[in-house]
């Protein structure tokens, strides 16, 4: 099995990918040697590829500001080596891990998942309880936590939410809205059968609808959430008229490249409260850090500015 461990640039909190091509051909980098007895707690991100994740930047910021001696590595693990790596995670020196594409569904099957991971059908955070490797999906609390930070009280003013898209990200959003008590979650997808499948899973408060009915639902939507890739750099525009939303509506977009999507720009032009995809990325990282290092971190303006600068650099 060829796994690739990326060293972290301590000044930037990001992986050193200067020799990335050679590594992806099968070379394995050596980790920095540390005494076995005094080695700090460490977590990692497992993906394939994984080198350009912002997770190290986020977690090293928290380690530094909280004064915790610890580490966060990137482990590029191909699909054929994932099971061996995860089942021996502690042997590799880690107390837990984040999991990204293409491993999230496999991680669910190899661990003991909680209700959230089972509901979403994918795990993105692993940790040990004793000798048992547990898993959860923090996209749910990342989405809801970001809404709470950007639009406090949003749930009290939301009887109807309109969610666009019925993919993996939509599962986390719908679960979070149902769990938070939203009365009606209207789920629109171009393939309406996928929306029906999610409604069957999440219960009577989820109402599947076809994409051509979105315009009719906008005037009653207290919350509009885009979980599709539409509006992302290189993708077609979403084509939703934010002007039809009520004046109290909140608009959330899971896309964070660009940071301000056309949907968010239109909503802000109307004076509506918004929640962007970068905020969700930051908030979803909180629980994993707490599980691994024992302290709950805070999403601060300084952290956001740090990640924004990295996302927008030439």
Residues with a catalytic annotation lie at 104
Q: Kindly tell me the number of DSSP H helices and DSSP E strands found in the chain.
A: 13, 15
- Residues 155, 123, 61, 308, CA torsion sign: negative
**88 Cβ neighbours under 8 A, 6+ residues apart:** none
E strand or H helix that includes residue 72: strand 70-76
Instruction: For 227-249, give one letter per residue: b (16+ CB within 10 A) or e.
Output: bbbbbbeeeeebebebebbeeeb
Alpha-carbon gap, residue 160 to 306, rounded angstroms: 35
Q: How many CA atoms lie within 13 A of 262 on its CB side?
A: 12
Nearest to 223 by CA among 287, 279, 176: 176
- Residues 173, 176, 180, 181, CA torsion sign: positive
**89 Cβ neighbours under 8 A, 6+ residues apart:** 96, 97, 126, 128, 133
Report how far Cα 138 is from the mean position of its chain's Cα atoms. 7
Residue/partner pairs of 204-213 with CB below 8 Å, 24 or more apart: 205/178, 206/174, 206/178, 213/188
């Amino acid at each position: 099995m060829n796994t690739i461990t990326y060293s972290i640039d301590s000044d930037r909190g990001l992986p050193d990918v200067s020799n990335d091509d050679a590594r992806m051909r099968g070379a394995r980098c050596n980790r920095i040697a540390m005494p076995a007895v005094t080695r700090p707690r460490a977590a990692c991100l497992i993906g394939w590829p994984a080198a350009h994740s912002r997770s190290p930047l986020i977690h090293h910021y928290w380690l530094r500001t909280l004064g915790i001696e610890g580490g966060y590595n990137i482990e590029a693990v191909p699909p054929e080596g994932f099971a061996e790596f995860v089942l021996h995670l502690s042997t590799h020196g880690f107390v837990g891990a984040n999991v990204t594409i293409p491993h999230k569904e496999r991680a669910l099957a190899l661990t003991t998942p909680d209700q959230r991971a089972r509901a979403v059908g994918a795990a993105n955070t692993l940790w040990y309880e004793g000798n048992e490797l547990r898993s959860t999906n923090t996209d749910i609390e990342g989405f809801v936590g970001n809404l709470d930070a950007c639009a406090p009280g949003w749930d009290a003013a939301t009887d109807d939410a309109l969610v666009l898209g019925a993919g993996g990200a939509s599962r986390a959003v719908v679960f979070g809205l149902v769990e938070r008590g939203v009365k009606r979650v209207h789920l629109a997808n171009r393939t309406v059968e996928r929306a029906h499948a999610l409604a069957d899973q999440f219960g009577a408060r989820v109402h599947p609808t076809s994409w051509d009915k979105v315009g009719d639902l906008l005037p009653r939507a207290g919350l509009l959430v885009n979980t599709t890739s539409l509006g992302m750099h290189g993708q077609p525009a979403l084509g939703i008229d934010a002007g039809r939303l009520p004046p109290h509506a909140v608009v959330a977009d899971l896309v964070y490249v660009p940071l301000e999507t056309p949907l968010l720009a239109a909503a802000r032009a109307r004076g509506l409260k918004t929640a962007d995809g970068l905020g969700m990325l930051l908030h979803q990282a909180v629980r994993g850090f707490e599980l691994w290092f024992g302290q709950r971190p805070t999403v601060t303006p300084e952290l956001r500015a740090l990640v924004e600068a990295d996302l927008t650099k030439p």
